[in-house]
Structure 1
Amino acid sequence: MNTRLIAMDVLYLTIFISMFGQINTETLNDSKRLYEKLLTGYKKQLFPLENSTKPLEVGLSLWLKMINDFNDVNEVLTIVVALRMNWTDPSLRWNPKDYGNTDTLRIPSADIWIPWVYVLNSVDTFEPIGKDATFLALICSNGSVTDAPGAIIKSNCPTDMSKFPFDVQTCTLKFIMWSAGPAFKLTSNSDELLMDFFIPNAHWNLVNHKAYVVQDKKLYTYNIDICIQRKPLYFTVIIILPILLLCLLNPLVFIFPIESGERMGLAITVLLTFAFFLTIAANVVPTSSSPMCFLLCMIFSIITISGFIIIGVIISARCHYVETFDHNSSFEIFFNFCCIRKNGRPLESKKLHGKDVAKVLDILFCTFSYVLIFISIITYIFFVKYG
């Protein structure tokens, strides 16, 4: 009994394999016949224009795989994309019933005509997308063809570094069918980029993106706007925080005792440190940046304030070693004016001691330096947030 059941199972399995094996063989043969039929006499060098009075519509959409790099000094954006193109080729139509109900066929794109789409603002090479690569094109029975060649694109992207390192950059990629003229019409299949396979970048956040077609005198360009925002943590820790710390320490040179002789050395050291950070920031910002980076302006203003601090140190030290000032000297007139404003009467003594003058000047210079530094920092913060 068991032997009979096993024999019946083997028979059914043999019939099943034979039936589906025959179907697969017929489908493969149908595909071979269809492939030979479509490409026999096919000229891929000719434009597939069924009616010369109407332009051939080529629909475009872009898969953004990743933002590989953005060189803000050289103003070059490098991205990895796949450009999806679809059009209708009347020479690639067939009746599915004649080929085993085969509705679609995938063949190498090198065997058929494909649109030559160029990146107009490319900085690397000016050649069609996917020119030397091999991709599969999907052909439907109604003559509709879809091809999605991939490429690494390097395009020019003018930068606005005014708010560095909190800047947002908008780059526009322009795709065009070069030398095609009015025979072709580009259309956008989507208002946004296709982000199914997107990999985030370590240094930039993708803020916004859009796709649209621009027509200028029957010449179409397919434009892609990519808006990216810098991740500011690295430059904040490396540049901004040390500068803020030095800004707090710089006016404190007036607290040092003049007799120690360390005031001038510390003031010059802080000034040179500011110059060092200015060099670091300048190396990141392109020389052609317009408008100018406001962080560089802030550092330059702080360097100027640091220079005034050195001058204040010199004046304070000079006054410290003067025993007394003569009657009607500029210092005595100034201090008498301050006392009249404060107490309503002038100083009783006609002589001013140099150490007393130096102490008052230290307080004035320290306070004034902090006010100027505070104004510079607040101006930068206000510009970055609201400018």
Structure 2
Amino acid sequence: MFLQTILLIFLGILYASYSQDCVRLVSKEDAWDKKLHSDKMANYRFRQPPRNQSCVPVKVHFQLKTFAFDEYADRFTAKMWTRMIWRDERLAWSPQEYGGVSKMVVLATDIWTPSLKLLNSVDPDYFNMDMEECLVHNNGEVMCVPEQIYESFCITKLRNWPFDVQNCTLQFGDGDRLSTTRFRFKGRAITLDAAEYGNGWNIMQKEFKEDSDSDVQLSFTLTMERQASGLVAVLIGPCVILSILTTASILMNVNDYIRLGLSCFSLISHFVFVFFIDEFLPKHSGDTPVILFFVRDSIILTITSVLFTFVLSKIVKRETVPFEWVSLVSNKVFFSFGKYLILPRWRVEPDSKDNNVNNKEIWTNMANILNSVYLVVVIIVYIILFRSYMPKEPPAEY
């Protein structure tokens, strides 16, 4: 019991000694800091810019945290840290006069701060630079780093959708017409860090420029590429399948209703695919995606195939004496090397009771020739359509 009492007394004395030193140290530093604030804020007029300066140079650096591009509303939203640095001689002091204090934190509402405004904002009448605290160095240099959300219009370009590339620009200027602030970029202007990817887009390139003599003093443009892997799978694949369906129907026998059924199925699938694209396609754009031109021309080819099937079915059923030019073309092709180029080849089944077998054979040969020519034309047209209207991945330099 005696030892425990001695130990408690010793700890009490030790605690009292060290705690008083800490209190005196903290209190002394707080006192100098309070005195510094009191002296600097005594006659400070926060509505007036720094004195003895025709203009106030302000260095600005943006650090992108997150971004989003709404192609349905043509809006680009960026959440960024906006670091602004300027010099205010009214806030300078000598550290020796204030116990070695070389920095102090002040409320942004207590000092003059530059009015950096997004000029191409969605809401041009709204302006609020939400700053809480700023760091002031003893040489009068002030640094404020507010977290801001900037939202601007960005016109969507969908010509190469879904491999589209969008360029969104943010333009900044002085929001206070009474001040003479001159903004300049600091360093690389904008830092992306891990924000290059987000919300279905990749930032591939950034450009910035500054002009302190114009209303738009600072501006930077972000080049974004859509993350199109999923859309490519559900758009390009069906285009290939539809073209194969239309081409495959031409290879079938014209007397078989399967050919007509496959052509009609392909035509219906085209229209279903158009409604499917409408679910994904952004509506606010002056550009027409080239993939829609491909679907349009493919629909025309499929309709032509359906009508051509009816025409060929009438030709192969004819029993009248063929025209002279029909016989000439038929014999010229089928009694030469050209017969190996005819694909497919339909034959007339021999019938001893039918006296018009020869005529029907000539008409059938003519239908084979026309069908083969049409098949080649369709294949060539689809090759042209794929080369002209199929969306292409952006070049690597983006």
TM-score range, shorter chain: 0.7 to 0.9
Letter in 2 for 1:373: Y
**Residue 333 of structure 2 aligns with which residue?**
338
SS in 2 for 1:115: coil
CA separation in 1, counterparts of 2:150 and 2:264? 48
SS in 1 for 2:170: strand
**Residue 344 of structure 2 aligns with which residue?**
none
CA separation in 1, counterparts of 2:59 and 2:321? 87
SS in 2 for 1:127: coil
CA separation in 1, counterparts of 2:267 and 2:297? 11
Residue from 43, 46, 49 that aligns with 1:44: 46
Letter in 2 for 1:250: T
1:12-161 matches, within 5 Å, as: 12-52=14-54, 55-67=55-67, 69-130=68-129, 133-161=130-158
Residue from 384, 389, 392 that aligns with 1:375: 384
Q: Deviations over 1:217-241 (max 9, x none)?
A: 4545211221211111121122111
1:177-326 matches, within 5 Å, as: 177-180=174-177, 183-196=180-193, 198=195, 200-215=197-212, 217-281=213-277, 284-286=281-283, 288-290=285-287, 292-326=288-322
Equivalent pair of 2:171/2:216 in contact (CA under 8 Å): no
Q: Deviations over 1:72-119 (max 9, x none)?
A: 243211221121111112222222233322222222212222111111
CA separation in 2, counterparts of 1:25 and 1:182? 40
SS in 1 for 2:217: strand
Equivalent pair of 2:245/2:262 in contact (CA under 8 Å): no
CA separation in 2, counterparts of 1:105 and 1:46? 21
CA separation in 2, counterparts of 1:359 and 1:343? 12
Equivalent pair of 2:156/2:284 in contact (CA under 8 Å): no
- Deviation of the 1:386 alpha carbon: 6.7
Query: Taking every aligned residue pair, what percent have the same amino acid on both sides?
Result: 19
SS in 1 for 2:53: coil
CA separation in 2, counterparts of 1:31 and 1:138? 13
- Deviation of the 1:202 alpha carbon: 4.1
- Deviation of the 1:359 alpha carbon: 3.9
Q: Which moved more, 1:109-118 or 1:12-21?
A: 12-21
Q: Tell me the TM-score normalised to structure 2 length.
A: 0.82
- Deviation of the 1:208 alpha carbon: 2.0
Identify if the C-alpha distance between structure 1 residues 296 and 93 changes in structure 2 by more than 3 Å, giving closer, same or farther. same
SS in 2 for 1:153: strand
Identify if the C-alpha distance between structure 1 residues 189 and 122 changes in structure 2 by more than 3 Å, giving closer, same or farther. same
CA separation in 2, counterparts of 1:315 and 1:287? 43
Letter in 2 for 1:374: I
Identify if the C-alpha distance between structure 1 residues 220 and 230 changes in structure 2 by more than 3 Å, giving closer, same or farther. closer
- Deviation of the 1:57 alpha carbon: 0.2
Question: Where in structure 2 are there 5+ consecutive unaligned residues?
Answer: 340-356
Equivalent pair of 1:181/1:218 in contact (CA under 8 Å): no
CA separation in 2, counterparts of 1:312 and 1:385? 39
CA separation in 2, counterparts of 1:380 and 1:327? 41
**Residue 363 of structure 1 aligns with which residue?**
372
Q: Bigger radius of gyration, 1 or 2?
A: 2
Equivalent pair of 1:252/1:366 in contact (CA under 8 Å): no
- Deviation of the 1:122 alpha carbon: 1.2
CA separation in 2, counterparts of 1:294 and 1:342? 41
Q: Which moved more, 1:268-277 or 1:24-33?
A: 268-277
Q: Deviations over 1:318-337 (max 9, x none)?
A: 223323552325x4344345
Question: Where in structure 1 are there 5+ consecutive unaligned residues?
Answer: none
**Residue 351 of structure 1 aligns with which residue?**
359
Identify if the C-alpha distance between structure 1 residues 27 and 182 changes in structure 2 by more than 3 Å, giving closer, same or farther. closer
Equivalent pair of 2:254/2:313 in contact (CA under 8 Å): yes
CA separation in 2, counterparts of 1:338 and 1:120? 73
Letter in 1 for 2:330: F
